[in-house]
Structure 1
Amino acid sequence: MRGVIGEVEEKLRSNEYKMTPKREYVLRVLLENKDKHLSAEEVYNLVKIKAPDVGLATVYRTLELFSSFDIIHSMDFGDGRKRYEFGVDNGDGHRHHHLICVQCGKIIEMNEDLLEDLEERVNRTYNFTISDHELKIFGRCSECMPKNKKE
């Protein structure tokens, strides 16, 4: 974790920002919850446990700062709330995709790139080079599927 914090600190410094203790608390919460898609309020509640003096506005500003430098990625899963992910770059410039349960809100990450053929077709047909894409598929997870199709 220390290495990642150092990398983020260097990225901030190279853009004339400092890694303040409050920013580090936000970063640590994001790192400790890498597998989750936290809202700003959820980040705030987790930061508040360790640093009660950190305000919600500070968390919002920090999340926006981290987003602006591609340290984290924000997305909306259809519930009107921005959610944040740390370390979304998988090395080829594409993010993973998400399956979103419309009943319970569960989010399942898919690491398969299902859109390679479409990207090639878009490039060829429209002379358009895609730098990134994001796919969200809405439906019901296995826990929310009716056990009996008669329902």
Structure 2
Amino acid sequence: MRRKIQVLFVAACAAMIVSACADPSFETEPSTASSTSDTTEKTEKQLNETPLANNNTPEMTSGVNIDWDDIDSPLWNEEMREELETVLHAIVDKDAEALNKGLGPDVQGVFDYMLQNEYDFQEVSSIHEEYGKVLVQVGSILGLEGETPKPYNCTFYFEQDETGEWRIVSID
């Protein structure tokens, strides 16, 4: 039974990822940290200023370039920041062990595919609550092999475990 639940969870996550990739400019909630249009303008400007590599695709510089002091939300706390920062650095560093340490125990290994791509995480663009989870949207530039880097928003789902610690339980 547990295996069926895991398979359904992975399938649901995959469906969310596919739907999110269909229209990355779609935003369901208003921003609390800064606007998505500002993120899109910054990322498009950065992409236009990026030199072309030999294969005619812009070079990409991965990193975590978030101004953590700029985040202003009553839902946000230092424990979430530490968890998110650890996971973002693990993704950029392509460190599966660190990534999975930062995730809830039920989803370890599920998001290892993110290590295959390049990310430049730039800002926390919105924070809101849904069904007892805190959703933190991070604006970034996504670089897929052989493609032009493009603006991309990742949403990290935080939930408190039974001990009261905040854990990332999903990424969309």
TM-score range, shorter chain: under 0.3
Q: TM-score, normalised by structure 2?
A: 0.24
Q: Which is strand-richer, 1 or 2? A: 2
Which has more radius of gyration?
1
Q: TM-score, normalised by structure 1?
A: 0.26
